[in-house]
Amino acid sequence: CPECGWRGVDVRSSVETLIGEVMKRFFEAEDYRLHAAGREDYDARMLGSGRPFVIELVRPKVRRVSLREVERTVNEEAGGAVEVSGLRYADWELVEILKSGATETRKVYRAVVEVEGEVTPSELSELKRALSGAIVEQRTPTRVLRRRADLLRKRRVYSVETRLLGPRSFEMIVECDGGLYIKELVSGDDGRTRPSVSSILGKKAFCRELDVLEVKTPHL
């Protein structure tokens, strides 16, 4: 559509376009592509020190610009939706590191979980014990099946911390392998993700909020 520039995404709000459109202008490039250390759902916030990324510029006419000025312009025009820092020139080796390091990446998430029925401190202690160190078997989530192959993935959860927020909600800090779908780790996705918060508690649960606190990418 005209609004998305025929890219299939909303140019007014995607991370790629908020950064890429500014860089395209500065470097007088024909186009751009984003290479990043993983991806998240549109409603997940990226907090902490951020996510490593490379913007590939297609046929730029200008080769060198002030990257500090690019940073300032991106941050100003994004209006707080996206912030970039520490920009530097990269080569293809860095792109390959981002791609090949995907299986070695760890992520730390903060999830606010709501439960159908009350949840107790003892149940949260059992949840922490059961999930910490667990290997999670996860089929491609139902919500993305229409655009991704139905595969079985195995990912490790390294640690879990919980904090009760109310009789039916709690905060969960999870460190896990990259590629683990956290919303389905919570809900269980009708048995497609095992174990899950729902299966351990024996109650329906869903992720109300999701933040990425840290992306641990090796070799960067």
Phi, psi for residue 160 in degrees, rounded to 5: -140, 130
Sort 20 into a burial class: Cβ within 10 Å, 0-12 / 13-18 / 19+. Answer: buried
Q: Cβ(107)–Cβ(175) under 8 Å? A: yes
Active-site choice (31, 41, 150, 190): 41
Q: Cβ(121)–Cβ(163) under 8 Å? A: no
Copy the structure tokens of residue 96.
């390959």
Q: Cβ(109)–Cβ(157) under 8 Å? A: no
The amino acid sitting at 199 is: S
- Give the separation between CA 215 and CA 49, rounded to whole angstroms: 8
31 is catalytic: no
Catalytic residues: 41
